[in-house]
Structure 1
Amino acid sequence: MLDRWTAQHEIVDNNGEIPVYFHINRKCHYMTMHWHEHIEMIYQLSGRMTATAQGEQYELKPGDMLIVNPNELHRTISLGADAPYVLIQISVQRLREMMPAFEIVHFKNYIPAKEISPFPEVIQAFQQMKQAYLSQDDGYTLLFMANLYKVLYLLYRNFAYQMRPDSDEGNNRDLQRIADVMEWIQNNYRQKLTLREAAGLLGISKEHFCRIFRKYTGQTFLEYLNCYRTSRFWEDMQTSGKSFTELMEQNGIFNYKVFIQTFRQMYGKTPRELRYGKRTSKA
């Protein structure tokens, strides 16, 4: 566990009466690289999604699962507008109550449908959680939690292993370094940031920095920086009537061509198409 990871890129809340976060996502999305202290389970209903977890890249198809252990770097990108999935996030505190030995349990990140199919109870439990949450009939929380326990039990018995507390010490040290750089980027992204500065922050060579950054994020330093600035641009665009030029300057974006390419990759459209619609989509 990375105890020093206090800054969280994503803050996770529960769903009212259910003591976990449960969501059925039906929209196109691009989630930048981040971490949190929750375990995250994604069950792909249809369509496709690409995901990066701990530097490994996966493509999720219908019936596939992604499990992100607490404090693991990850990002997800839906491929197309029709790629719904079920998302469950469970806090560390709740996990301790449900699984007393969870601190030494590590779940497999990617479980393809062919490996889940021998355990139809997992698929049935996801379906029952989904139906219980949508109907919210009297006592639905009991049905929901009963099925959540069933999913965790089956995943624990078949797709998890126990590890020594010090088994990932070296990896955790590098992950902490990357987390420090990501926090530095998030605090200073409006300014001009360079690869040399990022490597200097950790006291290592640019070559070594590039290797470990790509290993754990699946992106280069510049790709992550561009994606983070673009995600902040998108957030500001939702609540501001400022011009695109103003929003770009506000978020440290000065290369228009790279910005448009990144924005299209992340959101499937240009800023003009999202703000004004197709009729004014010409940049």
Structure 2
Amino acid sequence: MEFTLSKKEHTEIPDQIFPINIFYIHYTGPHIVPLHWHEHLEWIIIAKGSFRVQVGSTFEDLQEGDLTFINKKQIHSAFPKSSDSELYAIVFNEALIRNTGLDNTENKYISPLLTNDVSIRTYFKADEPESDIIRECLMKLKNAYSEGPFGYELLVKASLLESIAYIFHKAEQTPLLNRNQDRGSIEPVLVHLSNHFHEPLSVKQAASMCCISPNYFCSLFKKATGKTLIEYMNMLRIQEAERLLRTHNYTVQQVAFAVGYTNLTYFGRVFKKLKNVSPSNYLKNN
């Protein structure tokens, strides 16, 4: 029996010639955005409640009205902090914002954005002036996309470009040689765990990936994620276990082994701690 645990996500885009989709994430549905990455760009709007959002090696607790911009190939996730939390994820391909015409917007803005030659903010808090304008653009986009009137594609594209224009207001040009040179970054470990969370990983091995000492790694990791390495790995494993159990294709034991637990009792204890229900009861009731 084969399990697919890779976190490169194949995002559902219904219309390949107008590549955009909007996902509504809420507690009674698929209420977790698992750690993953894809070839598309993305806006996240916190519609209600609060989420802990990860983009790359950064983590932020976001509340209603806050926004997140995610570039292509950036690992990211969102975990609700309360049961009434809701968000919209607007996922779109670069084809929607590329310009092959004669004006200078492609070379001046879009290409530097996609190649990370410009430093773009990731998080926009609700009380910032830019956030109100961007959120208005995105909600106008969402409504046009949902209602689909004649010409909605133009409204969607215009709103999308307008939202991106505003993030350039506080963007900074980033010299190529200075980019991503923070030796204290834990991102190598986060990238590794996005595909290998089911494999054993010691603090010493994780620290080695980041070229720092184990003690410093533990301090950085806890500060960034709010969790120890073991707690973070358990979160990823149980999240994947939950997804596998919901398919009803595997037994509890098969799921436990697939996500990295060799001890079924320990798996059950961790699952119940994080989900407030045993794996067997979860399988029975979902």
Q: TM-score, normalised by structure 1?
A: 0.75
Is 1:11 equivalent to 2:10 in the alignment? yes
1:84 aligned onto 2:86: yes
Specify the SS of the correspondent of 2:177: coil
Structure 2 residue 228 is matched with structure 1 residue 228:
no
Counterpart secondary structure, 1:24 = strand
Match of 2:20 in 1: 20
Which AA in structure 2 matches 1:14? Answer: I
Say if 2:140 is the partner of 1:140: no
> How far apart are residue 114 of structure 1 and its match?
0.8
Structure 1 SS opposite 2:146: helix
Question: SS where residue 89 of structure 1 aligns?
Answer: strand
* Alignment-derived partner of residue 59 in structure 1: 61
1:166 aligns with 2:174: no
Residue in structure 1 matched with residue 103 of structure 2 by the alignment: none
Does the 8 A contact of 1:54 with 1:215 survive in 2?
no
Q: 1:36 to 1:50 in 2, by over 3 A?
A: same
Considering only aligned residues, what root-mean-square deviation do their CA atoms show, in Å?
A: 3.5
Structure 2 residue 190 is matched with structure 1 residue 182: no
Distance in 2 (alpha carbons) for counterparts of 1:215 and 1:38: 29
Describe how 1:61-210 pairs up with structure 2 within 5 A.
61-91=63-93, 97=99, 99-102=110-113, 103=115, 104-116=117-129, 120-157=132-169, 159-171=170-182, 174=185, 177-178=188-189, 181-182=192-193, 185-186=196-197, 189=198, 192-199=200-207, 205-210=213-218
| Alpha-carbon offset, residue 169 of structure 1 | 3.7
Q: Which runs of 5+ in 2 are unaligned?
A: 1-5, 100-105
Q: What letter matches 2:148 in structure 1?
A: Q
After superposing the two structures, state which structure 1 stretch, 195-204 or 249-258, moved more. Answer: 195-204
Higher RCO, 1 or 2 (CA under 8 Å, sep at least 6)?
Answer: 1
Match of 1:22, as an amino acid? I
Partner amino acid, structure 1, of 2:283: R
Match of residue 47, structure 1, among 46, 49, 58: 49
1:230–1:263 CA contact under 8 A, matched in 2 = no
2-side partners of 1:64 and 1:119: how far apart? 7
Q: TM-score, normalised by structure 2?
A: 0.74
Instruction: Give aligned pairs, total.
Output: 266
Give the conservation status (yes or no) of the 8 Å contact 1:37–1:71: yes
* More displaced stretch, 170-179 vs 103-112: 170-179
In the TM superposition, residue 199 of structure 1 has moved relative to its aligned partner by 4.7
Shift of 1:48: 1.6
Deviation at 1:23, TM superposition (A): 2.0
Whether the 8 Å CA contact 2:55–2:70 is kept in 1: the answer is yes
Give a deviation string over 1:149-197, Cα, whole Å, max 9, x none: 111112222x4322112222413895663256326724xx2x5543344
Change (3 A) 1:57 1:271: same
Using the TM superposition, give the Cα deviation of residue 90 of structure 1 relative to its aligned residue in structure 2, in angstroms: 3.6
Change beyond 3 A, Cα 1:204–1:100? closer
Change (3 A) 1:222 1:67: same
Alpha-carbon spacing, 1:180–1:272, altered in 2? closer, same or farther (3 Å): closer
C-alpha displacement of 1:143: 1.4
Unaligned runs of 5+ in 1: 1-6, 279-283
